[in-house]
Amino acid sequence: MKNLIFFLIFCIGGFSATPAAFSQSTLCQDSVTTPDIVECLTSHLNLMDGDLNRTYQELRADLNKADYAKLLKAQRGWIDFRDAECARIADYASGGTMAPILKLGCLMKLTERRIEDLSTNPLTGEIN
């Protein structure tokens, strides 16, 4: 069961290294029960959210008022998309015990991508 859970998380999640610094091979490896896995993944997601917030604030600091308004609108839209998409993914488990794990995997995947998007200079493709 544990191997199936991690297989699903990584197939759906497709994680790579982020500033939160966790590895695919060690992510929640000591968690056995579903509540333990959910708690562990939630902890990692919270770290990623902190990274996202720092990245957002760094980007925001360099923007004028008009550009900040655009960033804010984009970020709010991204949050709406993220929440709807991850609810859709969780529905594959039809409310079963895998639903929160699928949702957390999705949230982590999309958060990681958003950090990368906000960190990447759109003109040069370089990570800031």
CA 55 to chain centre: 13
Give the CATH number of the domain where residue 36 resides. 1.20.1270.180
Report CA dihedral (100, 101, 105, 110) to the nearest 10 degrees: 0
Q: Is residue 124 part of a domain?
A: no
Global pTM reads: 0.80
Classify each residue of 5-35 as buried b or exposed e, where b means 16 or more C-beta atoms within 10 Å of its C-beta: bbebbeebbebeebebebeeeebbeebeebe
Q: Is residue 13 part of a domain?
A: yes
User: How do residues 22-41 score in pLDDT, each as one tens digit?
Assistant: 444 467 888 889 999 999 99
> What integer pLDDT is reported at residue 115 of this predicted model?
98
Q: Quote the CA–CA distance of 27 and 23 in Å, as a whole number.
A: 6
Q: Is residue 127 part of a domain?
A: no
Q: Is residue 128 part of a domain?
A: no
Is the distance from CB of 15 to CB of 108 less than 8 angstroms?
Answer: yes
- Residue 111 pLDDT greater than 70, yes or no: yes
User: How do residues 71-86 score in pLDDT, each as one tens digit?
Assistant: 999 999 999 999 999 9
CB atoms within 10 A of CB 108: 27
Count of domains forming the chain: 1
